[in-house]
Amino acid sequence: MSRFLSQEAACLAPYTPGEQPQDQQYIKLNTNESPFPPSPKVLKTISRAELMKLDLYPDPTCGPLRRAIADYYGLRPENVLAGNGSDEVLAFAFRAFCGKGKGVAYADITYGFYRSQAAFFGLEPAIVPLREDLTLDVGDYMEFSGTIVLANPNAPTGIALPRTDIQRLLDADPDRLVIVDEAYVDFGAESCAPLLFRYDNLLVVQTMSKSRSLAGGRLGFALGSPSLIEDMERVRYSFNPYDVDRLAMMAGAAAMEDRSYFDACCASIRQTRAWTVGALEALGFTVLPSQANFIFAKSGQIPGGELYRLLKENGILVRWFDQERIRDYVRITIGSMEQMEALVDQVDQILQAW
């Protein structure tokens, strides 16, 4: 650190992204990316004519993208905020709805970015432990009066809550905001988007990185009441009103409109996930019930850290968290069937040699 670093910056808790090594070619199952390319409609929409417009600023209102998202969910553009990935959207939400007199609560084992954002904005979060089986019980949040942030399905466990559980939180205190981070909802869980017609204390956050194959496009969005979206736009315009670039905006709108491609990709992931779970369970693994595009699995034969290391040595990347309660697990992205077959084969060889 330099001598110029502020005390506030020194107190930050930076998020640790998944590895992106460049030293060799890996089967990359560590960052929950899609094994499929973007929709063909995305590729068609990026024309030479649009490339020639890169000398101009993009639309700061993200109009076409917001309309496409709103149409998909049966909402109005005023119910939608678009941003540079869901991480940025979450940051806007933390800034808009958490602060002095407005606390924030989230689980002890969940997406690590919440911890980073809490530190970034100088918040003292309430950390609510998952149950022994790594499930989340909304009853543990009922007495908390501040903003609640829930990843659903949760990461890294992949376990999803039924929508009725989140309704219980919304009904229990209409003056408490519940933010539901649905980064992985399209792979089998219930979205809370339909509840937006009934609850103005609900904010739904989603990403196009996973189910719409646009991780490199950096697109995320929030769905909520017009007043919530207006609050977040206030933050966005105080930070960077040109956060979504021209090409990404076009790509996102095209991806939202291609429903058949989206449905086919999600169905394929679910099918491959089921096969992978069965194959690992046959090798003695315990696999948590996932509704995401990844699984969280542990072997009774080899520690999670060693399995991660040996897989990497053999050209396969998975994610391991050196964290209390989950050190025995590895998180495995669901890739193509060929990639998952290679993973299972390599795991089998490692276990035989262990």
Please write the tens of the pLDDT for every residue from 5-27.
888 888 888 888 877 776 668 99
11 Cβ partners below 8 Å, 6+ apart?
Answer: 119, 122
Nearest to 214 by CA among 41, 28, 6, 10: 41
The domain limits of the chain are 8-37+260-353, 40-258
For the domain with range 40-258, which CATH number is right: 1.20.1560.10, 3.40.640.10, 1.20.120.550, 3.30.540.10? 3.40.640.10
Beta carbons of 93 and 117 less than 8 angstroms apart: no
Cα 34 from Cα 11, distance rounded (Å): 34
| pLDDT at site 23 | 63
When pLDDT is averaged across residues 284-312 and rounded to a whole number, the result is: 97
| pLDDT at site 24 | 62
Distance, C-alpha 278 to centroid of its chain: 25
The answer to whether the Cα torsion of 191, 197, 200, 205 is positive or negative is positive
Cα 270 from Cα 154, distance rounded (Å): 17
Strands 316-317 and 27-28: parallel
Q: Would the CATH topology of 8-37+260-353 be identical to that of 40-258?
A: no
Superfamily (CATH H level) for 8-37+260-353: Aspartate Aminotransferase, domain 1 (3.90.1150.10)
pLDDT above 70: residue 82: yes
Cα 90 from Cα 232, distance rounded (Å): 10
pTM (predicted TM-score): 0.95
When pLDDT is averaged across residues 237-261 and rounded to a whole number, the result is: 96
Q: What is the mean pLDDT of the chain?
A: 95
User: What are 101-158's pLDDT values in tens digits?
Assistant: 899 999 999 999 999 999 999 999 999 999 999 999 999 999 999 999 999 999 999 9
**Encoded amino acid at 206, one letter:** Q
Cα 219 from Cα 88, distance rounded (Å): 9
**Encoded amino acid at 229, one letter:** I
pLDDT above 70: residue 232: yes
Count CA atoms within 13 Å of residue 267 on its CB side.
6
Cα 330 from Cα 299, distance rounded (Å): 9
| pLDDT at site 195 | 98
pLDDT above 80: residue 48: no
Beta carbons of 191 and 204 less than 8 angstroms apart: yes
